[in-house]
Structures are given as structure tokens and as C-alpha cells.
Chain A
Amino acid sequence: MTTVASPPNVPPSVAPPRPVATRGPEPKPAETGVWVAIATISMSFAALTSAMVVRASAAPDWQHFRLPPILYLNTLVLLASSFTLAAARRRITAVSVRDGLPGLYVTLGLGLLFVTGQILAWRQLAAQGLFLATSPSSAFFYVFTALHGLHVLGGLAGLLYVLRRIRRVVPAPMTALGAATLYWHFMDVLWLYLLLILIIRV
């Protein structure tokens, strides 16, 4: 059997009629949806970043402060959760999900730990007397972390929903799991980006 590289050796007289359908691989609306969501969330944070750049140069009242060290620990927790989720996903197939469940629970736990850590970071800042309205830099810090935290909570809700479904529905909805994983990894990337601009600007 020749490979696809050479043109098919078929006489033109028996060539099949042009197919009506011109489609690529099986469409996965859930993944498309998450990609679209990633685009729109990126746009929101791009708008906020540009607002921060403009605001920082608008007046000399920008106050630099040291980021709470717990943020770096939180970053590690969030990154670890992505690894546990990826490992869990590798162990889950459409017919057998049991091996992956512990990984999913660990991911959920790490996600909650991250959100708790972010709240602790707020409390550390508040203890230093830095509140939302104290200075523009602290305002942007709270806005960025709060909005990212809300999106992480959304991701946790999505993971819970997927967890419930893969335990009950056979065959397991692998597309939904893939979409939730994609979103969760995006939360990592988004947080790394936010942490970077916070380090640079704040």
C-alpha cells in the first residue's frame, strides 16, 4: 500500500462525485467555547493592563510596595494543580475513570488552597495598611487578584461539574474534561502574566 504522499492512482472516470461535506475533525463545541472564553478573558485583562499603564503615568501618586511573599507560594500551588490535573487526565479514558479521580480531587483541593492563599495575601496587605483605595497601585493589585480569583472559582465550578458527569455518564465525556483542563491551564498562564506585571509595576 502506497502512502498518502503520492497522488491516488485512480482513473478519472471513476472518481467519486465531489463530497457535499467539507469538514475537518469531529467538532468539539466545549473546547471551542473555552478557546473563545480564553480570548475574551485575555481581552478584559489586556484592557485592565492598558488602564494600569495609563493610570501609572497619569499622575505622580503611584506608590510602590512589596508584594506579599505568600503570592509566590500560591503560584507554586496553582502550578502544581495544573500538573495533577494533567496527570489525572492521562489516567482517564472514556470507559475507565477511577484511576484519575484522586488526581481530580487533589486538583480541586489545590485550587481551593490557591484561592485561600490569595485571600491571605489580601489580609497581609491590609495589615500593612494597604487597602483598595489607598493608592492606585494597591487598587490595581486588588482588582487584578479579585478578578483572577473569580475566574479560578469559575474553573473550580467547571471541574466539579465535569467530575460529577464523568462519574455518572458512560462513556465519560472526554471533551468536557479536555475543555475544563484547557481552561484550568489558562488560569495558570493568566496568573503568571498577572504576577509578572505586578512584580514589574507594583
Chain B
Amino acid sequence: MDHAATPAAAHHHAPPQGFLRQHVFSLDHKVIGKQYLDLALVAVCVGMVLSWLMRLHLAWPNLPIPGLEKLSPNGAANGVITPEYYLSLMTMHATIMVFFVLTSAPFAGFGNYFLPIQVGAEDMAFPRFNMMSFWTTCVAFLVLVSSFFVSDGPALSGWTAYAPLSAVGKDAGPGQGMGQTLWALSIAIFCVGQLFGSLNFIATTLDLRTKGMSLARMPMSTWAWFITSVIGLIAFAVLLPACILLLLDQRAGTSFFIPAGLVISDRLQPHSGGSPLLWQHLFWFFGHPEVYIAILPGFGIVSTILPVFARKPLLGPRALIGCMTAIAFLSYTVWGHHMFLSGMNPFSALLFSVPTLIITIPATIATLLWIGTIYGAKLRFTTPALFCLGFISVFVSGGLSGFFLAQPSIDTYLHATYFVVAHFHFVMAVAAMFGIFAGTYFWFPKMFGRMMNETLGKWHFWLTFIGVYCIFMPMHYLGLAGNVRRYSAFTDDYLKPLIPLHRFITIAALFTGAAQLIFLYNLIRSRFRGPTAPANPWEATTLEWSTTSPPPFDNFGGHPPVVSHGPNEYGVKGATGDYVMQAAPAPARLH
């Protein structure tokens, strides 16, 4: 099947034959979306196990972890994690989670599956690029994970890979040689994959909308994916050359980021004149927008799902689009707030602090719009609705600490402490995860034609919701008490009294992680044994619910829908029930 070469047959596609073309090297956006989600599932399991190892070590530093010495004979001889290996685990946990989970699942995964259907297209604009995008990302993941198996282990300079220690090679520690090279290579490959993906999202949204699908009628989730892909297009375009320069510094002897006269491990580094701060600027110019790449799809998912279960139109959809656009724009003006302690000019710190405080305004407006949407509603408390409410809760909890950190004077004290760990885990990681969970419970019936188990879903929600607060809320107090982050053990006198709290967090993390097994069981069991899903189980309006569950190969069976309604027509008298679907015929007009 050659999509591109047969434009004449554009309105009737038969699925390709053969296992490889159908399930592996598929051009179908739905298969690619599921592949991204599966990749994210594998990645999140790896990332979570890494966080368990770290938490166990923090609570009981001398506890041997059985089997770990087999994975890393140097990093964990007898199963006890060395400080260097702790940093490797931290680096890999963060890199895997940020890139391969928080970017892959809500943006590339759900976006790939649902953006074309929600705009009424039968596939992405460039199916071949789409396939390349996934397989490039997959290769990036394999390259990253392979660094566990090289002799010195993975990189240990964090997901931010600060130069010059990330650029000078082995002298900076085990894992800074081959491990760090694999890290930079993996992220460079990942950037290429995401650029292909973003390009596809933008062209599809702009050019492949079905008849009647004006921009104003696009669902919020489509808007969010579209805005996210614009952010990604600019952000990954900066990280890619930055990674190339880092690779050249490591392997080709250039001095982009390595200053002159640098002595590391008693060895004068043969480099001259580079600027370590340059790496931080390039990285955070990508890094801060990346935070919004992770969270904006969650905005879209929540804004799409909440009205379905509130049976009310979303409050202020245009204002919400405005908020997301404002956040996207402002996200490029705040990167310096990660660098208040970097030795940057204090005047520029002020310059970055002000837009950081301003960016809380659209974020606050969005939150108020969601709360306004559920105000006075007879909410249907299904699992996806619960996860949307959880999203709002953790987003607010994490966002509030952002007000403190945005101010250079306070950040100076808190920056290197667990306060920041609590902040970004709530506002970016947990919030985005709740968005992913909400999306999974909501769209699973459409993707697999079967319903997930609601009882298990509710257990999963409550255990996770309570669990994440038990893990991350205490970290605020640790941070205020001056508990430094990135340490592998707390042996200083002033830190010793905090160890019981660390043990509590570790136990909470193990329990919350175990609660995810409920989700995994529900996911796998429902895929094969769940009750058959109707076309529109949630009584939603957007186009994906107008087609069968799961949708046919070309999404609408050769009959592209004609859109006559916005996505928010809930609580109105429709042909059936209290809603009007986007593809419902336009009301008859009297002449």
C-alpha cells in the first residue's frame, strides 16, 4: 500500500496485509499512537523501578539490593549503591521519564491516535514521516538504555547534562565517558523523531480538517496537541544542535562548553575557552518549554474530558485556547529561572523572574475555568473524571510552590533542595501522569473496543492520589529544612533527623508504585476480557465517538464526517440525550 503515490484512491483505503506492515512498520496513525503508548509503558516501568532503587538507598543507605550487583558490578558491588551509581540512576530516571514517558505518551501517543480522528482526517499528513518518527524515538530509547550495559554504566550528570562535567569524558567520573556519549546521542536522535512528529501534527491540523471543522470547532485536546507541537518544533530544534555540540566536545576535541585551564581529577583538560553557561542557556531554552510539552496535552485532555462528565459546556473555551497560547509564548521567555544559581548576571535573573510570575496568570485562569466548568454540575464520578479532578489538584499543589521558586532571592535558598523536587514532580510529572491516566481510562474503549473495569480504576485512582501526596508533600518540608537534593546519603548531623521522613517517603513510593499494578492488570485484562464497548460509551461529542470502537482503518469507513457543531454542546436538548455530537446534522433553517 503506497499512501503517498495514489492520491486518486484517497477516499478508500484498505488495510495493508502482512504482520510487519500491519503492526510493526505500520503507516496507520492509530497503530503508531499505540506503539508510542506501549513504548511509554515500558519506559515508565523502567523509570519507576529506578526511582524505587534510589528511594531505598536514601532511606537505608547500607541496604544491599539483591541482584543489582549483576547489573552493575562496579556501581553496586554487593548490591550497595555507590554515590556515583546513585547519580546514574537519577540521571536515567529523569531522562527516561521526561523524554520517553511525559513526552511520548500524552503528546506523541494520544496525539497520534486522536488528533487525525478529532479533525476528521483519515490519517496524518505524512504517514511515512510518522512511522519514521516512532522508530527514531524507539532507537533513541534503546541507545539510552544500552548505557546500563556498557562497562562504566550510564551518565551521571543529570537529565540536564551540565557542562563541563558532561563534556570532558571519563575524568569526570564513571559513566561520563561512553555513558554520557550514549546519552547525548540518544537525545539527539529523540529530537529528530519529535521534529518529524511535530511537523506532522501541524500540517495535519492546518490542512486535513474535514468539512465544517473550523479552528473554533476543534476540540480542546486537538488545540493542545497543536500548540504543543509548535512548542516542540522550536524547542527540539534548539536541543538538537546543542547535543551535537556536546557530542563534538566529548569525542572530537572541540571546546564549545569547556573552559580553559580546567583541572578535573588532577588532570588539566586539553580544552580552551569554552562557555559552560552556553550549554545551560541552550539546554534550558529547550528545557523549560519541555515542561509545557509535558503538561499542555494534559490541559487538553482535562478540558476535553471534564465537560463530558460534568454534562456542561466547558467554561470559556476561547479563553482557554488563549491561555495555552500565552503559556506557549511565555515558555520561551523564562528559561533563565533554572539558572539563578549559575553565576548569571543578577539583573538578568530579575528579567527571567518577571515573566515566570506572569506565566502563572494564564495557568491560574485555566485552572479557574476548569473549576468553573464543574461548578454546579452533576458530575458523573467515573475514573477518567476522578483523574481529571486529581490533575487539577496536583497541578495547583505543584503550581503554588512555583510562586516561591520564581523569585531569585527565595530560589537561592531552595533551588538545590527537595523543595524543587516536590515542585516539579507535582506540577509536571504527577500532573502529566494524571492526564495520561485520565486519557487512558477515557479513550481505552475507543482504542480497543472494550471497557476498562471501573471498580479497579477507582481503587487505582484513590491509592495513587493519596500515595503521590504522601510522597511529594513531605519533600516541601525537607526542602525548607535545607535537605539538599542529588545527595545519595544523608550523613551530616543536620540531615540525620530528617531520615525518618525519608523512610516514610520511600515506603509511600513503594506502595504507590505497587498500586500501579492494579492499573497494569486492568489494562491487560480489559484488552482481552473487558465488556464490549459501544461507539460512544461516555456520551461525548467529538468526532472519535462518531465512528466505531475501534475505528476502521481509514477512521470513518470512507465517509468523512461533516461537522456542524462545536465540541462543547453538552446540557442542551439534542436528538438523543442532553448533547449534540459534532457530526450531527445542522439544525434545519427556516428561510
Chain B count of residues within 8 A CB distance of the other chain = 50
Q: Are A136 and B273 in contact (CB under 8 A)?
A: yes
Q: A97-129: which have CB < 8 Å to B?
A: none
Q: B502-532: which have CB < 8 Å to A?
A: none
Name the residue on A nearest B273 (C-beta).
A59
Q: Are A47 and B241 in contact (CB under 8 A)?
A: yes
Q: Are B278 and A55 in contact (CB under 8 A)?
A: yes
Query: A132-144, CB under 8 A of B: which get 1 and which 0?
Result: 1100100100010
Q: Bound complex: CA of A21 vs CA of B259, how far in Å?
A: 59
- A32-B206, A33-B126 known; A59 vs B260 contact (CB < 8 Å): yes
Residues in chain B near residue A43, CB distance under 8 A:
233-234, 237-238
Q: Bound complex: CA of A58 vs CA of B237, how far in Å?
A: 23
Residues in chain B near residue A39, CB distance under 8 A:
233-234
Chain A contact residues: helix, strand, loop or mixed: helix
Q: Are A47 and B237 in contact (CB under 8 A)?
A: yes
Q: Are A55 and B256 in contact (CB under 8 A)?
A: yes
Contact of B278 among A29, A33, A51 (CB under 8 A): A51
Q: Which of B208-216, B367-375, B440-448 contacts A (4 or more CB under 8 A)?
A: B208-216
Q: Which has the most chain B C-beta neighbours within 10 Å: A41, A45, A48?
A: A48
Residues in chain B near residue A132, CB distance under 8 A:
248, 252-254
Chain A count of residues within 8 A CB distance of the other chain = 40
Residues in chain A near residue B564, CB distance under 8 A:
20
Q: Are B256 and A20 in contact (CB under 8 A)?
A: no
Q: Bound complex: CA of A59 vs CA of B255, how far in Å?
A: 11
Q: Bound complex: CA of A147 vs CA of B242, how far in Å?
A: 13
The smallest beta-carbon distance between A145 and chain B, in angstroms, is 13
Q: Which of B154-162, B197-205, B392-400 contacts A (4 or more CB under 8 A)?
A: B197-205
Q: Is residue B275 within 8 Å, beta carbon to beta carbon, of the partner chain?
A: yes
Name the residue on B nearest A60 (C-beta).
B273
Contact of B256 among A27, A29, A41, A51 (CB under 8 A): A51
Give 3 nearest A-B pairs by CB, closest first: A59-B273, A27-B207, A133-B253
- Apart from A20-B564, A55-B278, A61-B260, list 16 A-B contacts with CB within 8 A: A21-B212, A27-B208, A33-B199, A44-B237, A44-B241, A47-B237, A47-B238, A48-B241, A54-B277, A58-B274, A59-B275, A60-B273, A133-B252, A136-B274, A139-B248, A143-B245
Chain B residues within CB distance 8 Å of chain A = 5, 7, 125-126, 195, 198-200, 202-204, 206-208, 211-212, 214, 233-234, 236-238, 240-242, 244-245, 248, 252-256, 259-260, 272-275, 277-278, 281-282, 285, 562-564, 586, 589, 591
Chain A residues within CB distance 8 Å of chain B = 13-14, 17, 20-23, 27-29, 32-33, 36-37, 39-41, 43-45, 47-48, 51, 54-55, 58-62, 132-133, 136, 139, 143, 147, 165, 168-169, 173
